[in-house]
Structure 1
Amino acid sequence: MRLFNCTNCSNVVHFENTGCVSCHARLAFKPSDLTMVALDSGNGALLPAVNAQAVFPKRCVNAEVGGCNWLVEDDDETGFCIACRHNVTIPDLSVSENVENWQKIELAKRGLFYSLLRFRLPLVTRRQDPENGLGFDFLAEDPQSSDDEPILTGHADGLITLNVVEAHDAEREARRVALGEPFRTLLGHFRHEIAHYYWNVLIRDRNAFEACRAVFGDERADYGEALNRHYREGPQPGWEQWFISAYAASHPWEDFAETFAHYFHIVDALDTADAFGLRTNPDVETPAENIELKRTFDSYRSGSAQTLIRAWVPLTLAINSINRSMGQPDLYPFVMSEAVFDKLAYIHQLIRSEASNSM
């Protein structure tokens, strides 16, 4: 994630900010050019005024209750920004805890959409395509009912379901421990589930099965039985040599989704590191004895997966060492094998090809 500047006073601001701490202007994210703009806190006009003419950009309908800081830059009749218009169901906001959880979920979802926009991946809403468009059901269980089926995070034909209790840190950590996962975050959920959607869009709908199967295996294997076996018996011995996570070893669809999500982790974390001047990416085009560390590395536009990996590995070593020096567990609890590198290279090429086609 890049750092941004307030357009009114040039103070450094962050993606999550809704106001500038320096000039106190209201801030909004402009998705068309991925910038943060300042708005007059009184009348909502764009700051500074151009040629003394006040411009009043449209804020997302979810600006107040949902905490959305994105602008609406088209004439979409819903009044929602490009991220919020994909929502199908939101929790009952008369319940205060649901409001807090939903706002956390929406913040993570906007982080996902930032990457989708940077990658130029196609976005189709459920209104545009009711059967296969991208949509989100954010559901809350009724604590007064004993008949409700548990709400599980998942994906079905473009519709992503998330139990809003996942936004509660203690509950999410309890589930992580119970499932033996090294890593469980809201943003991670979104990146994993969106991968299933893009498997449909970029693989299934384009009949690109052969190349994908050559890397991840045959997805026609019984999915339900594969997951039942995974939860009953655990991952296959030696899974670390072939998969980024134990869950990835359960079925080719999950291998694709876990690798796809991991690619997003890598690219966006490198983007953040570069924004803060953490010089982890060597100029790999020069001889080893002349290597210089640069700060101009754009991970979202990297030409090769190998370049990303060369930058990523030393960064993970550094951040894990920092965590250990503070008595904290590793921030990055993964070990990547050569087989995983190859899978990441496939995902890199898949996304980069889509970006080239959209230009």
Structure 2
Amino acid sequence: MRDFACPNCGQRLAFENSLCLSCRSAVGFDPALMAFVVVGPDGVVQDPNPPRRMCANLHRSACNWVVADADGNELCLSDRLTRTLPPHDDTEAMAAYADAEQAKRRLMVELLELGLPVVGRDEDPENGLAFDLKSSRDEQVLTGHANGLITLNLAEGDDVHREQLRISMGEPYRTVLGHFRHEIGHYFFFTLIGTGPLRADFEELFGDPDASYQDALDRHYSEGAPAGWESDYVSSYATMHPAEDWAESFAHYLHIRDTVDTAAAFGFAPSGAALDRNLPGEAGFDRLIQLWLPLSWSLNMINRSMGHKDLYPFVLPPKVLTKMKLVHRAVEAVPAS
């Protein structure tokens, strides 16, 4: 994530800001520019080239993105991908919905920066990307992915609920953004791997993605992860099925690129280190990991200095890095738009 500034006064802005606390200007994030713009009291961007206005979900999902008038949409790219949201009378879920949308916008920026295709259901009704952000107040909701549809149980936004699940499932890390990055990995398997030229490399590293998922699920929850899994997998959950191994590897690739990019923006890593697609080939991936390993170690030590758990509580053995290198190859193979 970049280091943003108010275009009116130069004050630093967080990615989530819709108001500059220095000059009190209303601001909106323009994903086409990857920068903030000043917005008038009518919600219209003051620079009229091109005409833009605030997303209509400013107050419902705290969306601070702007929409080009030429798009003919009231909602921004990220909010348009949401197919289902909770009932308005479910106040807890609506608050969690706004937080989930905020995490989703962070995901969308990274996908756009990496040049990954974001195709919604309006373009591909059967397999296009869509999100169901659902309350579990009145029904059981399972977080997961199916044919481009990502479902999130909004109870994951509750710290107590999420921490209880993390402990019960033996996970070192669990966040809403992490869920999105994992589930989007499933979506991009079909986009980046599928039956294309990288399929054979995928099967060599991850296994057969068409193996019975139900059998793998039953085996994982009855027997657990195999002994010594730490040398080949980034997490115990990744051991369940090749599809989950890929999704976990994809999620960690996004974790690393975004964190290195943010560190570079704030002077903790060399500038231009991550998201601007200047890391081609295996050497580019090796460079990314060379940046990441000392950075993650130092961030973990800083967290410990504040009495917190490690920011990145994972080990990346050679086999895991080889898997992530395939993710890198697949991402880099997407033609620049």
Q: TM-score range by the shorter chain?
A: over 0.9
Gaps of 5+ in 1: 280-293
Shift of residue 88, structure 1, vs aligned partner: 0.9
In the alignment, structure 1 residue 333 sits paired with structure 2 residue 313: yes
1:1-359 matches, cutoff 5 A = 1-40=1-40, 42-47=41-46, 57-73=52-68, 75-143=70-138, 148=139, 150-204=140-194, 206=196, 208-279=198-269, 294-301=270-277, 302-303=279-280, 304-354=284-334, 357-359=335-337
Distance 1:204 1:107 in 2: 30
Gaps of 5+ in 2: none
Per the alignment, do residues 74 and 179 of structure 1 end up closer, same or farther by CA in structure 2, a change over 3 Å counting? Answer: farther
Distance 1:189 1:225 in 2: 23
Shift of residue 299, structure 1, vs aligned partner: 4.5
Distance 1:105 1:97 in 2: 12
Shift of residue 345, structure 1, vs aligned partner: 0.9
Per the alignment, do residues 76 and 43 of structure 1 end up closer, same or farther by CA in structure 2, a change over 3 Å counting? Answer: closer
Q: Is the 8 A contact 1:138 1:164 kept in 2?
A: yes
State the Cα RMSD in Å. Answer: 1.8
Q: Is the 8 A contact 1:119 1:300 kept in 2?
A: yes
Identity %: 42
Structure 1, residues 208-253: CA drift from partner, whole Å, max 9, x if none?
4212112211112211111111111110111110011111111100
> For structure 1, which segment, 227-236 or 182-191, has the greater mean C-alpha deviation from structure 2 after superposition?
227-236
- Structure exhibiting the larger radius of gyration computed from Cα positions: 1
Structure 1, residues 148-177: CA drift from partner, whole Å, max 9, x if none?
4x2110000000111111111111111111
Q: Is the 8 A contact 2:261 2:274 kept in 1?
A: yes
* TM-score between both structures, scaled by the size of structure 1: 0.88
